Amino acid sequence: MMPEPDFPPALALVNVARRYKEGEGAIEVLRDANLVVEPGQSVALVAPSGTGKSTLLHLAGLLEHPDEGEVYVDGAPTSGLPDKERTRLRRIHVGFVYQFHHLLPELTALENVMMPQMIRGLSKKEASVRAADLLDYLGLGKRLNHRPSELSGGEQQRVAIARALANAPRLVLADEPTGNLDPKTSDHVFGALAELVHATGVAAIIATHNLDLADRMDRRVTLRDGQVVELA
């Protein structure tokens, strides 16, 4: 059952199933999966490879359709929406952080964070101000005009985090965002992401194999037999 409409969760997966064809059969990756993430809440998704972490993130980010069940974003059902509307919702409500930063190499840190805002329709001035504020918050105030090749791995990933938050989404999805970083840098980047999540009130699902980092999140969940299970 969905929460009261006046207080919608940022994300709700309700009885979600996802299958992939394999030959004449199908592999059921998720079945009757349920997950609710409230605004300002950080959730660590800790599960072995091959259990459906990426599938869950793709469904939450409206990159895939569930075979059964419903995905609610900001309280609104999404599975029956046309692709154009799903793309619009994804652009407005969802931010992505990947294991590789995927920054545009020809743009500066500031310009990389401005880009999604300008695509959404903000003016160059408005986008520049917000981008600079986000990067400064993440300790990159002196690196605004540096291109990705001039930044360290940790700095590149912090720019990617700022880009994901640029349009003030309701939900941030991060897939092993510190997987390519050394432990010290990983700890710093993860802490910056968690702090920014709480500061902005955005909800976050962060897939990680690092249990020490996962313990710093508000909740920890895993996937067992295609279902989302809360961890103590």
pLDDT tens for residues 43-79? 999 988 888 888 999 999 999 999 999 999 988 899 8
- Domain regions of the chain by residue span: 11-230
Query: Can you tell me the distance from the alpha carbon of 41 to that of 10, in angstroms, rounded to the nearest whole number?
Result: 9
pLDDT of residue 2: 46
- Would you tell me how many other CB atoms lie within 10 Å of the CB of residue 176? 18
pLDDT of residue 7: 65
pLDDT of residue 153: 86
Tell me the whole-structure pTM to 2 decimals: 0.85
Query: Can you tell me the distance from the alpha carbon of 204 to that of 7, in angstroms, rounded to the nearest whole number?
Result: 17
Query: Can you tell me the distance from the alpha carbon of 152 to that of 216, in angstroms, rounded to the nearest whole number?
Result: 24
Which residues of the chain carry a pLDDT beneath 50?
1-5
pLDDT of residue 4: 45
- Cα pseudo-dihedral 84, 89, 94, 95, rounded to 10: 50
Say which CATH architecture domain 11-230 belongs to: 3-Layer(aba) Sandwich (3.40)
Tokens representing 184 are 């010290």
Query: Tokens 């990933």, residue?
Result: 157
